[in-house]
Amino acid sequence: MKNGKLNSSPQAEQAIQRVLQAERDAEHAIQACENEARQIIQDAQNRAQLINTRVDQRITNMEMRHSHKLDKTVKSIEKEGADELRHDAGNHHDSDNLQTVIEQLAIELCLADAATED
């Protein structure tokens, strides 16, 4: 050993330098892979958010269409009911005939009740 230094051949030094360079290259490659992985994850999250937004829009549109359809159906039912009420109100019933029907029904119920008591 001269002056505290190891005697090394130029080939050994070159080999050491190549190993050190390979380590640096590997570190850079790892960093590049990590960066690419982060970018892939970010892109996937962005796509997922876009899909989520589109799904929300479609759900809202579907709810609006069904709500509109339901409103039309309810209005149609209400109109039919109102028409029937007007029709029924327009028909005047003879109160004498109605009284006769009620009396006959009362008689039949009383007779049926009396028959079941026996």
Q: Does 71 reside within a domain?
A: yes
Q: Does 42 reside within a domain?
A: yes
Mean pLDDT of the chain: 88
pLDDT confidence of residue 4: 47
The pTM of this model reads 0.49
Q: Does 5 reside within a domain?
A: no
**Structurally, how many domains does the chain consist of?**
1
Q: Does 2 reside within a domain?
A: no
pLDDT confidence of residue 104: 93
Q: Does 3 reside within a domain?
A: no
Q: Mind spelling out the 3-state secondary structure of the chain?
A: CECCECCCCHHHHHHHHHHHHHHHHHHHHHHHHHHHHHHHHHHHHHHHHHHHHHHHHHHHHHHHHHHHHHHHHHHHHHHHHHHHHHHHHHCCCCHHHHHHHHHHHHHHHHHHHHHHHC
Q: Does 4 reside within a domain?
A: no
Calculate the alpha carbon distances from 47 to 29, 42, 50 in Å: 27, 9, 5
* pLDDT tens figures, 3-62: 545 556 999 999 999 999 999 999 999 999 999 999 999 999 999 999 999 999 999 999
Q: Does 17 reside within a domain?
A: yes
Q: How confident is the model at residue 86 (pLDDT cuts 50, 70, 90)?
A: confident
Q: Does 16 reside within a domain?
A: yes
Domain with 43 in it: 10-117
